[in-house]
Amino acid sequence: MKTSRPSGEIQRVISAAIPSVTSILFVLAGVVPSGAPGISSVAPLLSVAAIFFWVVSRPGLMPPASVFCIGLLQDVLSGGPIGLWALTLLLVQYLSLSQRQFLVDQTFIFSWVGFTSVVIGAALLAWLSACVYYDVLFSPMPVIVQAALTVLVYPLMALLLISVSRLIPAAP
């Protein structure tokens, strides 16, 4: 009994960190040079997918502070304005949280549709912020392609994340 407690505690901490760690891995995976021509500027927004998934399935394990740090990491690595993704991912968290009650216990199609609306919101905010920051009107086309790709790869990512989320014990 005495020895099981600390190990239970460690397990609890590890499983609580899974959402943040997977999101960080997704950010890093998005940075690795893929070598596919033309893909790098429209690579899917893996971090948006990860945050949406965790906020909907385990909101307690994805607090605003984690979201902020994940966004900051993406900002640093992308070379874009620092704060842009931190802000965008916080919006993703807000939108996902507001949709959560409609999406929990629904079929996957519902959450896919919900995710689409979140991606549209995120892409729009990122595009607007970048335009204001650089004081240029960026072509919206790459952003649209990026958003579409993100929506397309979501089922695959959800499949991966669902299997990861099985490792976390149910909320007490």
Question: Which residues contact other proteins by CB under 8 A?
Answer: 28-43, 63-65, 67-68, 71-84, 86-87, 90, 93-94, 126-127, 129-130, 133-134, 136, 138-139, 142-143, 146
Minimum distance, C-beta of residue 41 to other proteins, in the bound complex (Å): 5
- Determine the longest span between alpha carbons in the chain, in angstroms: 63
End-to-end Cα distance, the chain: 20
Q: Give the separation between CA 106 and CA 56, rounded to whole angstroms.
A: 11
Q: How far is CA 22 from CA 14, 61, 162, 171, in A?
A: 12, 12, 12, 19
Q: Give the separation between CA 50 and CA 141, rounded to whole angstroms.
A: 24
Q: Give the separation between CA 70 and CA 45, rounded to whole angstroms.
A: 13
Nearer to other proteins, 109 or 136 (CB): 136
Nearest to 97 by CA among 127, 65, 64: 64
Q: Give the separation between CA 76 and CA 82, rounded to whole angstroms.
A: 6
Cα angle: 77, vertex 82, 88; to 5 degrees: 95
Nearer to other proteins, 67 or 161 (CB): 67
